[in-house]
Amino acid sequence: MNIDNIKKEFPIFDEKIQNNDLVYLDSANSSQKPRVVIDRIYDFYTKEFSNVGRSVHYLAVAATNLYENTRTSVQKYINAKDKNEIVFTKGATEAINLVANTFGQKYLEEGDEVLLTELEHHSNYVPWHFLRNSKKIKIEFAEINEAGEVTIEAIKNKITNKTKIISVTHLSNVTGAILPIKEIVELAHSKNIPVLVDGCQGAPHLKLDMQELDCDFYAISGHKMYGPTGIGVLYAKKKWLDDLPPYQGGGGMINDVKKTGISYGELPNKYEAGTMATAQVIAFNESIKFMEKVGIENIEYHEKELLDYGLDILRKNNSIKIVGNPKNKGGVISFIIEGVHPHDIATILDEDGVAIRAGHHCCQILHEKLKLPATARASFGVYNTKDDIDQLSKSIENCKKIFNL
Amino acid sequence: MDLKELYQEIILDHGKNPRNLRKTENFNKDAKGHNPLCGDNVHIYLKLNENKKVEDISFEGHGCAISMASASIMTDLVKGKEETEVKEIVNDFLDMIKEKEELQNKILNEDEKTKLMCLSGVKQYPMRVKCATLSWHTLTSAIDDFQKIVNTEN
């Protein structure tokens, strides 16, 4: 599969969006879907549908196998040791909530500390905040430096003998900073602290190897990986999934139910209560296959090229200030234009078919630190080209013209 | 859709140099508004005299050109009006932004109406309507002594 004409694999790029070709620069929010993923959902519902893991009829068995095939694909893709270390969730948010809830229940007590960073998305802060109220825990934030990155020293500075878990993003959805996860995990483990990695932005763009990273938990969002919405993955080391209590109760996660008591099912059923997003899980296998076919190394290389090209062009524009300058950066460019509010930028760019995001990108803690109420953000996916960035630059000029800059 | 209709000169002018962007001394009514989706904040200060007339109105906050211009134009137009008149202007403005073609209002003169009509371009941009209405809802909240912060999403 040639990355240069990969746009062809994504039907949405055949559409005119308000009479324009779509320049989609919002993949950090959610990626577009290749035809194989869309077709898989349609095919499953039209030819193969059944609920999984319950009935014994032909369709049920076939659907169960398809569902489990995705688990195996994900396991291989992220090089997890065991298939049962892959838990399907409705998204990365639910994956983090699952850990915060169950780990919090079992291991956190009043005065204990959870260490996050100032880069975290609300989905890696709010679930821990719940424990502030219920368990009276404290939340600490490792600080960013001027480049908008979190160094291993910043993490080290905030670890105390009360730190019970560290939960950090792999790749910032605002500054693009890629965190030194391996070093963080080594440091944390030397103090017996488990580490959760919010991999929403990591998984679509970076090569993943759970056994090498050695983190305890890794949260993945399916819809940012060219997959359907409503599907996420929690990778967790088996020792944790065996050890932690169940998250939600319901059908499918039980072993034996009596009036006097209940015993829970084995992994992975223990954490998959109720009917799961079956079609989406099955179609997610196609996203993994798609990414494997393109090759994560090629994706990384391609997006790095786009990033360098984009930074080069935008830096030449005197009205633009780029937010953060991390050495190790993913395909995200957040910026402001002096004199134009990010929402006005987004509306004006949209008129040319250029889709970006404006706002605080669910990172209010970071924006408060940066003293910016909002930023504009262009983020890249496998389908973007240098032409997209040229159009971005052109539309920014139009924006300046409208605002008489 | 036409960007020129949204970003008219008057909007850009009020957005860039908002009128009454300050804090009224001795205000006797105030309210805060917040748009959690974009982070826009506005704080309206109102001084009503004994005849319930707006002696002074001002605002503090930050936001996009549309929300700043809307707050700026609003404060300009309601100054000197009576409380009941202010409420009528607010309702007629919201009607215009949400449904009606034209601004129908008996209190404002033609110049004032023209000024307010400049904001009607936002109708074509559903995601931006809240930018234009935030300060108006917040003004209502201040007049009614509503304690809760106005939130565009609730």
Contact A225, A203 (CB under 8 A): yes
- The pLDDT tens digits of the residues spanning B50-97 come to 999 999 999 999 999 999 999 999 999 999 999 999 999 999 999 999
Q: Do A373 and B3 touch (CB under 8 A)?
A: no
B62 close contact with A: CB closer than 8 A? yes
Domain boundaries, chain B: 3-144
Of the candidates A351, A374, A403, the beta carbon closest to that of B39 is on A374
* pLDDT score recorded for residue B147: 66
Other CB atoms within 10 Å distance of the CB of residue A1 = 14
- Residue A265 carries which DSSP code? P
Residue of B nearest to A403 (CA): B12
Concatenated DSSP letters of A315-362: HH-TTEEES---SSB-SEEEEEETTB-HHHHHHHHHTTTEE-EEE-TT
Contact A367, A360 (CB under 8 A): yes
pLDDT more than 90, % of chain A: 97
Q: Do A374 and B3 touch (CB under 8 A)?
A: no
pLDDT category at A12 given cuts 50, 70, 90 is very high
Quote the ipTM score: 0.88
Concatenated DSSP letters of B26-57: T-SEEEEEEETTTTEEEEEEEEE-TTSBEEEE
Task: Give contacts of B 101-130 with A, CB under 8 A.
Answer: 125, 127-128
Q: Do B38 and A358 touch (CB under 8 A)?
A: yes
Rounded Cα gap, residues A148 and A375, in angstroms:
14
Contact A389, A313 (CB under 8 A): yes
Strands across the sheet with A375-379, in order? Answer: A320-322, A332-337, A375-379, A357-359
Contact A353, A20 (CB under 8 A): yes
Strands across the sheet with B29-35, in order? Answer: B54-62, B40-48, B29-35, B150-151
Ramachandran angles phi, psi of A248, nearest 5°: -110, 150
Kindly give, in sequence order, each residue whose CB lies less than 8 Å from that of residue A289, ignoring residues fewer than 6 positions away: A36, A73
Count of all residues that appear for chain B in the document: 154
Rounded Cα gap, residues A23 and A10, in angstroms:
13
- The pLDDT tens digits of the residues spanning B16-56 come to 999 999 999 999 999 999 988 777 899 999 999 999 999 99
* pLDDT score recorded for residue B2: 78
Q: Is 90 exceeded by the pLDDT of residue A337?
A: yes
Q: Taking residues A372-398, what's their average pLDDT?
A: 96
Q: Is 70 exceeded by the pLDDT of residue A157?
A: yes
Residue of A nearest to B3 (CA): A348
- Residue A143 carries which DSSP code? P
B1 close contact with A: CB closer than 8 A? yes
B17 close contact with A: CB closer than 8 A? no
- The pLDDT tens digits of the residues spanning A227-247 come to 999 999 999 999 999 999 999
What is the distance, to the nearest Å, from the Cα of residue B79 to the centroid of all Cα atoms in its chain? 12
What are the respective helix, strand and coil percentages of chain B, to the nearest 5?
50, 20, 30
- Residue B60 carries which DSSP code? E
- Which residue type, as a one-letter code, is found at position A247? Y
How far apart are the CA of A257 and the nearest CA of chain B, in angstroms?
41
Query: How much is the mean pLDDT over chain A?
Result: 96
The CA-atom distances, in angstroms, between A134 and each of A97, A100, A108, A115 are: 14, 12, 10, 17
Query: Look-up: residue for tokens 């994560």?
Result: A296
CATH numbers and ranges of domains, chain A: 3-30+295-402 (3.90.1150.10), 38-292 (3.40.640.10)
Kindly give, in sequence order, each residue whose CB lies less than 8 Å from that of residue B72, ignoring residues fewer than 6 positions away: B14, B15, B18, B19, B20, B21
Residue A262, beta-bridge partner list: A257
Chain A residues with CB under 8 Å of B64 CB are 341-344
Rounded Cα gap, residues A244 and A257, in angstroms:
20
How far apart are the CA of B58 and the nearest CA of chain A, in angstroms?
21
The CATH class of the B3-144 domain is: alpha beta
pTM over 0.80, yes/no: yes
Of the candidates A341, A358, A374, the beta carbon closest to that of B65 is on A341
Contact A166, A115 (CB under 8 A): yes
* pLDDT score recorded for residue B152: 74
Catalytic residue check, A362: yes
Q: Taking residues B122-134, what's their average pLDDT?
A: 90
* pLDDT score recorded for residue B4: 82
Among B8, B16, B38, the residue to mutate for chain A (most A Cβ within 10 A): B38
Among A344, A360, A403, the residue to mutate for chain B (most B Cβ within 10 A): A344
Q: Say if strands B29-35 and B150-151 run parallel, antiparallel, or are unpaired.
A: parallel
Q: Is 70 exceeded by the pLDDT of residue B1?
A: no
Other CB atoms within 10 Å distance of the CB of residue B59 = 27
Q: Is 80 exceeded by the pLDDT of residue A78?
A: yes
Ramachandran angles phi, psi of B145, nearest 5°: 55, 35
Ramachandran angles phi, psi of B150, nearest 5°: -65, 130
What is the distance, to the nearest Å, from the Cα of residue A147 to the centroid of all Cα atoms in its chain? 22
Residue B150: in which H helix or E strand, if any? strand B150-151
* DSSP-based three-state secondary structure for A250: coil
- The pLDDT tens digits of the residues spanning A86-98 come to 999 999 999 999 9
Q: Taking residues A6-22, what's their average pLDDT?
A: 95
**B70: exposed, middle or buried (Cβ count in 10 Å: 0-12, 13-18, 19+):** buried
Query: Look-up: residue for tokens 């997610």?
Result: A284
Peptide bond into A268 cis (omega under 30): yes
B10 close contact with A: CB closer than 8 A? no
